[in-house]
Structure 1
Amino acid sequence: MAGGRSIWPWLAVAGLVAAFLAVGHGHGDHDADARSTAPHSTAAPTTSAPTRSATPDPNDPAQFAGPVVKYARQAGVHAQLLMAILYNESYKPHDPAFERAWQKSKPDAAFGIANMHRAAFDDTKRGRPFANRSWEELPDHPDLAIQAAAWYLHDLQAQLPAHRTGAYTTDQLLALGYNTGTGNMRLFAEGTSPGSQARSYLDTLRGNWSKAAQALK
């Protein structure tokens, strides 16, 4: 997530997430949404009853393909990279009420579908079209979160060393920078081996790479 924080603390609150969704503050019962509803009809067998289509996953970044392409182009970064990062960051429910409730007990928590921390957002927005927006808006405004993430990647790209000795591509380094911060990104570009959490983030990105391409078609 932007700002160099690890994703692992969120795994410890799985029980809290489940409880939160169970009381109606989340996006509903995903398992129920995925189940098909068999029609209870007494009509003749030749009559086909309508079936209800499954509700799209509200946490699926594919629904934001338009803003991803738009803001990636404006910021001069690859749309596939931006979309893959959104998939990486979809490990927790992006429900505005849940994010704000969690932030009350963990003030340094990240906000929005791109999991951006306050300091990263405030640094990125300077001189940008969204300079008058606030970090607190991210949970309610996915477009703003995507725009900020795109420009954060732009700023990371500007800080890559001109000469690199590492084995990572530019997109991979930017993803590592998004997850671990600028300083670590530069070290990785110069040949330092990432730690286990950074490697895991990069492995997840590789796994999401083709999914991101499909989402942008």
Structure 2
Amino acid sequence: MVKAERRRGGRAQWLVLPVAALIGWGCVRAGGTHSESGSPAPTPSASASSSASAAPKPGGTYDPADYAPQVRTYAKKAEVSAQLLMAILYNEDYKPHDAAFERSWQKYKPDAAFGIANMHRAAFDETKRGRDFASRKWEELPDDRGLAVEAAAWYLHDMSAQLPSHWAGSYTRDELMALGYNAGGGNMAAFARGVKPGSQAADYLSRLRGNWKKAGSAVAG
């Protein structure tokens, strides 16, 4: 879940979900749709993010590797590592990425993140400025996974631009950018100065390293 300066991740918070959110999710799924009743349809985009391959699969099934083409495309445009972007998608795959579920959960927790890259509204609105997807809305992220990948790629681009020329510790550039994705640019700068990451950021980095080889294989094709 990306916030401008602070985010929280981890699989544990999704092990016990509020009954209200689950009921809402189940009711919508029973109707055979992933769109919230009464919500406007996502605005079509001329970019690759609006392609059929970027749409969620029926039933909410999801594998980050299915979006390798979008990852390669947007990583190249944003001049970031495709392997890093894919590894982050694996890191963020800790909750059900189902559009109806996300909207039900957001009603319970208004500051929840949207999309397969778990981006918060403020981070998305900041990242899209001056970019090809500037006219798109944060509310579209659950339905348009290509848009979620595109936004995440440019967020990483912005993190890269904020990195100092030299930093303390043995972190790679990609690892610091991942920490920035997880904790925000201010915290990334602190980690680069030698501040020790907290338990959540440290766990995020550990999982990134664990997903690194798998992410490389996914984008190699």
Q: TM-score range by the shorter chain?
A: 0.7 to 0.9
Look up the match of 2:9: 7
Give, in angstroms, the shift of residue 166 of structure 1. Answer: 2.5
State how 1:129-140 maps to structure 2 within 5 Å.
Answer: 129-140=132-143
- Structure 1 runs (4+) deviating above 6 angstroms are 21-24
Larger radius of gyration: 1
* 2:26 matches 1:25: no
Taking structure 1 as reference, are residues 87 and 13 closer, same or farther at Cα in structure 2, changes over 3 Å only? closer
Look up the match of 1:126: 129
Deviation per residue, 1:105-132 (Å, 9 max, x gap): 1111000000000000000000000000
| Matched-pair contact (CA < 8 Å) for 1:89–1:113 | yes
Give, in angstroms, the shift of residue 13 of structure 1. Answer: 3.7
Provide the secondary structure at the position in 2 that maps to 1:139: coil
State the distance in 1 between where 2:18 and 2:145 align.
Answer: 20
Look up the match of 2:117: 114
Deviation per residue, 1:5-57 (Å, 9 max, x gap): 1114x63342338956777839xxxxxxxxxxxxxxxxxxxxxxxxxxxx9x9
Unaligned runs of 5+ in 2: 31-57
Look up the match of 2:81: 78
| Matched-pair contact (CA < 8 Å) for 1:165–1:191 | yes
| Matched-pair contact (CA < 8 Å) for 1:166–1:192 | no
| Matched-pair contact (CA < 8 Å) for 2:93–2:116 | yes
Give, in angstroms, the shift of residue 60 of structure 1. Answer: 1.1
Aligned residues: 189
Identity %: 60
Q: Which piece of structure 1 moves more, 205-214 or 10-19?
A: 10-19
State the distance in 2 between where 1:99 and 1:143 align.
Answer: 17
Q: What TM-score, normalized by structure 2, do the two folds share?
A: 0.79
Q: What TM-score, normalized by structure 1, do the two folds share?
A: 0.81
Pick aligned residue for 1:204 from 191, 207, 217: 207
State the distance in 1 between where 2:18 and 2:74 align.
Answer: 30
